[in-house]
Amino acid sequence: MFSGEVAWVTGSSKGIGRAVAIGLAEHGCDVAVHYNRGESEAREVVERIEATGRAAIAVRGDVSDSGDVGRMVGEIEERFGRLDVLVNNAGSFVERRSFEQMTEDLWDRVMAVNLKSVYLCSQAVLPMMKRQGAGKIINISSMAARTGGSSSSIAYSAAKGGVSTLTRGMAKDLGPKGIRVNAVAPGRIDTPLHEEFTPAERREEAAQGIPLKREGTPEEIVGAVLFLASPHASYVLGEVIEVNGGILMD
């Protein structure tokens, strides 16, 4: 599907990001694997990618800090000399809390990792993509962007709603420059995010409300990302592809 393009996947030491990074490599991309705290997991992803015959590096930093983002982009450019695909995957609930119990500090932290990071990373890669005359930016939103999520994840849902809207705005602005911007909105996926923040009984109860009667896997998100990053999506712009097992249908 690819022939040596370079991809950067944020938050790719585990979960959906890990699966996407490995999937892109398996289909011909060299990959920059991003992590903030999970160094050993990121190194394992790099080894998995190198085992496919593709090149990989691990870059560490806070995607909500402009200085860290700029440094990481510099490391990617120094190693590969180009960047063709950015997957803005990094995100977290940070902490579950009701709207009434929400603090300004927690609100800001949730917005920073889930929404501000998309703006910072996307803006930072523009010089390379504009110089190349082409690029693909794929933002990972969430089904919660449309449903509002649960009462304990309102800030996360609001941030993901911002990601979907930002995707459309970026698409209008960057499309004429040859940079295609789209998004994927996963539903309930079996990831470390839910292992950390969602009780097992709640997960099982929620899964029964999904027409397929199960959570999705990180690998089941990869296909949509591969499609949007590939030439097969050359006329797809500003779309948010829902991958949720049928729990939310248009």
- Residues marked active site are found at 156
Q: Where are the alpha helices (DSSP H) in 81-116?
A: 104-111
Residue closest to 86 by CA, chosen among 51, 120, 115, 114: 120
Rounded to whole angstroms, the Cα distance separating 114 from 41 reads 21
Cβ neighbours, 10 Å, residue 228: 24
Burial 129-165 (b: 16+ CB within 10 A, else e): beeeeebbbbbbbbbbbbeebbebbbbbbbbbbbbbe
Rounded to whole angstroms, the Cα distance separating 137 from 7 reads 10
90 Cβ contact partners less than 8 Å away, ≥ 6 residues apart: 10, 11, 17, 34, 36, 63, 113, 117
Rounded to whole angstroms, the Cα distance separating 240 from 92 reads 19
